[in-house]
């Protein structure tokens, strides 16, 4: 091909051709070879501004920088990494470089400076951020790249192993003092506790409890050593450790963790005493507060200690993570029962009972029943124990009583009746005189909603009558009794199928084809459930209400007759609801039997738990 003659700029542009198929602009250079862009597109113009390509790169870097700063701000807030500071570190350099880019002679150098000011602080943030985080949450690493690729290919059905580190499952747990007069005293308590030799072991003890999902932790200090037990989903368990399998065909097992020495146990108790502000010789304490922080989120704890014939016993109650429930259905309550419960709260006067066995979620369910009532057109008051105040409910006025100061529940009620409330709410009622007074007010013009410990809806009614309230008078004010019970759910990862027993099929009038299998807990469990075979709990409910049950109550009949009357009024017994969960595979027959056994109706006392109630 013969070289083109040299032409003026305009003529050269005319000679250039447009390659339509490639969507590129081509022209002939001095050597006759085509170029993709006209002169000046890749350099700086004579007016001092960036070229077309330089301006495009400037905007791309600017948009990427803005996106990065926004993500760093949100991520730093999530991981408590000083978002304001990192926002300035990652934002100001690139902003200044973007302004300087218009005066730097080289467009390429200007864009390169912006990239360095954008990427450099971001990498520095990643280094600082990654240090306290597990490998699965770190960024700008090989594992991060695998996770990104895996997420991109997942919609196409392509799976990539992103790796798994068991340490990712371990939360970060720290101790904190909260019972002091002010923050300075709390800081001093924590510093004193951190200097004790058992501080790290105490932290690990609380970590084990959190990992086990324990609501109560019991530590027995005996000559044989430190024994620990956890109350998990209403069942007492001893801590377990994982014994890995020796081969591929053999499954790993969870075995009971060995006891720590007596010296270690004494050191651990000394730490808890220090963090609660107690002197080392103290041998008695009840509900001394402190906190643990689980992955940065605080959880309240209450420390109690008492003497035992064999030594000291420590009981630590751990508040569960905050759960957000907006309506009764969020508790797992069936729609028909939830609707009926809400209808009960719409009446103007009468008594509504809410009950459950100990440790079966009564507080949460009672709060949700109260929240389901109309609290905007009626004046609600709540009689509350000042020593253990409950969670605040909007538009429900708290009326405290305090046995420590001589203010009884009845005295507090008499004082607030002068304000003419429409609805009276009271929790965990035990005072017989107060029960009689509330039933009297319900017969007049008040709606009374009370909670109490009972085995079922009919047992709750019987307990009110046992307080000395005439059955006929109570029948005139009785609106309904809502009861619940909790059963443990099978671990979805390790549960096992098995054929149902023939006698069960006969009782249910089902064929093997209709019910091919039931489910049970795995013998050794798995890492997800900590070797127990169960993970979490489900609630089952029943509601006794109607004209038939009120008529039977007025007649003074026994509990069995009351229960039959409630069934005639439409009550579905909790046992039937529990069996439905068994047939669904959500829980097991063994768990249902445990939940309804006589021994499970009361919590296992810490001293008795040691003698063997860890099922």
> How much is the pLDDT for 102?
80
Q: Tokens for 27?
A: 């022209």
Same domain, 310 and 255: yes
Q: How far is CA 61 from CA 37, 112, 114, 386, in A?
A: 21, 10, 7, 60
Same domain, 355 and 495: yes
Q: List the CATH number of the domain containing 218.
A: 3.30.450.90
> How much is the pLDDT for 614?
36
Is 29 within a domain? no
Is 385 within a domain? yes
Same domain, 387 and 351: yes
Q: Which of 318, 352, 373 is the last residue of a domain?
A: 318
Is 146 within a domain? no
Is 552 within a domain? yes
Is 526 within a domain? yes
Give tens-digit pLDDT for 179-230. Answer: 888 889 999 999 999 999 999 999 999 999 998 888 899 999 988 889 999 9
Is 164 within a domain? no
> How much is the pLDDT for 605?
45
Dist CA 578 CA 140 (whole Å):
49
For 552-576, letters b (16+ CB in 10 Å) and e give bbbeebeeeebbbbbbebebbbbee
User: Is-contact 38 29, C-beta < 8 A?
Assistant: no
Dist CA 440 CA 387 (whole Å):
27
Q: pLDDT below 50 — which residues of the chain?
A: 1-29, 36-37, 41-42, 46-48, 164, 599-615
Q: What is the pTM of this model?
A: 0.66
Q: Which of 318, 347, 373 is the last residue of a domain?
A: 318
Name the DSSP letter for residue 531: T
Q: List the CATH number of the domain containing 570.
A: 3.40.50.300
Q: Which residues have C-beta within 8 Å of that of residue 307, sequence separation ≥ 6?
A: 283, 284, 313
Same domain, 333 and 219: no
Q: How many domains does the chain have?
A: 2
Same domain, 341 and 299: no
> How much is the pLDDT for 602?
44
Q: How far is CA 329 from CA 9, 226, 333, 337, in A?
A: 77, 43, 5, 9
Same domain, 344 and 477: yes
> How much is the pLDDT for 159?
60
> How much is the pLDDT for 17?
35
> How much is the pLDDT for 212?
87
Same domain, 403 and 423: yes
Q: Which domain holds residue 244?
A: 173-318
Give tens-digit pLDDT for 501-548. Answer: 999 889 988 888 888 999 999 888 887 788 888 988 999 999 999 999
Q: Please tell me whether residue 241 adopts helix, strand or coil conformation.
A: strand
Q: Tokens for 546?
A: 């109607």
User: Is-contact 284 274, C-beta < 8 A?
Assistant: no
Same domain, 291 and 438: no
C-alpha closest to that of 290 among 312, 314, 306: 314
Name the DSSP letter for residue 377: S
Is 167 within a domain? no
Q: Tokens for 454?
A: 């009972």
Q: Which of 300, 318, 336 is the last residue of a domain?
A: 318
> How much is the pLDDT for 56?
83
Same domain, 536 and 391: yes
Is 78 within a domain? no
> How much is the pLDDT for 15?
35
Dist CA 362 CA 427 (whole Å):
9
Same domain, 282 and 418: no
Name the phi and psi angles at 333, rounded to 5: -75, 130
C-alpha closest to that of 352 among 474, 202, 235, 236: 474
24-25 and 18-19 beta bridge pairing: antiparallel
Same domain, 334 and 230: no
Same domain, 392 and 336: yes
> How much is the pLDDT for 610?
40
């Amino acid at each position: 091909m013969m070289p083109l003659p040299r032409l003026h700029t305009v003529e050269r542009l005319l000679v250039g051709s447009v390659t339509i198929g490639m969507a590129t602009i081509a022209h002939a250079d001095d050597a006759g070879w085509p170029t993709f862009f006209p002169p000046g597109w890749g350099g700086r113009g004579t007016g001092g501004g960036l070229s077309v390509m330089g301006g495009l790169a400037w905007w791309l870097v600017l948009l990427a920088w803005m996106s990065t700063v926004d993500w760093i701000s949100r991520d730093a807030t999530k991981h408590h990494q000083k978002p304001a500071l990192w926002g300035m570190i990652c934002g100001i350099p690139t902003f200044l470089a973007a302004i300087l880019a218009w005066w730097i002679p080289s467009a390429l150098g200007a864009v390169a400076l912006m990239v360095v000011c954008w990427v450099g602080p971001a990498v520095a943030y990643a280094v600082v951020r990654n240090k306290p985080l597990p490998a699965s949450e770190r960024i700008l690493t090989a594992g991060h790249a695998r996770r990104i690729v895996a997420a991109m290919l997942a919609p196409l059905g392509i799976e990539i192993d992103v790796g798994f580190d068991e340490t990712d499952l371990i939360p970060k747990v720290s101790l904190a003092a909260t019972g002091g007069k002010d923050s300075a005293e709390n800081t001093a308590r924590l510093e004193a506790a951190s200097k004790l030799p058992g501080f790290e072991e105490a932290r690990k003890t609380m970590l084990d409890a959190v990992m086990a999902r324990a609501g109560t932790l019991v530590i027995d200090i005996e000559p044989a050593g430190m024994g620990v037990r956890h109350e998990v989903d209403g069942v007492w368990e001893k801590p377990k450790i994982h014994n890995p399998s020796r081969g591929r065909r053999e499954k790993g097992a969870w075995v009971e963790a060995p006891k720590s020495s007596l010296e270690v146990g004494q050191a651990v108790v000394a730490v808890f005493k220090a963090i609660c502000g107690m002197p080392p010789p103290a041998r008695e304490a009840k509900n001394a507060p402190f906190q643990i922080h689980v992955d940065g989120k605080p959880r309240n704890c209450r420390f109690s200690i008492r003497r035992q014939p064999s030594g000291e016993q420590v009981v630590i109650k751990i508040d569960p993570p905050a759960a957000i429930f907006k309506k009764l259905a969020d508790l797992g309550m069936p729609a028909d029962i939830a609707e009926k419960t809400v209808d009960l709260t719409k009446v103007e006067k009468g008594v509504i009972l809410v009950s459950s066995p100990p440790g079966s979620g009564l507080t949460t369910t009672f709060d949700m029943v109260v929240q389901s009532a109309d609290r905007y057109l009626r004046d609600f008051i709540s009689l509350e124990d000042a020593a253990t105040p409950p969670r605040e409910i909007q538009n429900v006025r708290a009326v405290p009583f305090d046995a420590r100061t001589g203010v009884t529940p009845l005295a507090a009620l008499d004082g607030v009746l002068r304000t003419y409330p429409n609805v009276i709410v009271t929790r965990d009622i035990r005072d017989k005189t107060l029960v009689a007074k509330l039933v009297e007010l319900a017969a007049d013009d008040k709606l009374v909603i009370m909670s109490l410990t009972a085995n079922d809806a009919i047992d709750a009614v019987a307990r009110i009558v046992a307080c000395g309230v005439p059955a006929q008078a109570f029948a005139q004010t009785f609106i309904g009794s809502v009861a619940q019970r909790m059963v443990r759910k099978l671990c979805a990862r390790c549960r096992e199928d098995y054929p149902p027993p023939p006698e069960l099929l006969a009782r249910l009038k089902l064929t093997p084809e209709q019910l091919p299998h039931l489910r049970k807990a795995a013998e050794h469990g798995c890492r997800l459930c900590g070797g127990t075979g169960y993970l979490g709990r489900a609630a089952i409910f029943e509601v006794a209400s109607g004209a038939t049950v009120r008529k039977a109550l007025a007649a003074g009949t026994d509990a069995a007759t009351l229960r039959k009357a409630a069934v005639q009024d439409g009550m579905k017994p909790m046992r039937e609801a529990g069996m439905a969960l068994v047939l669904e595979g959500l829980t097991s027959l063994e768990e249902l039997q445990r939940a309804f056994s006589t021994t499970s109706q009361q919590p296992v006392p810490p001293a008795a738990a040691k003698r063997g109630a860890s099922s």
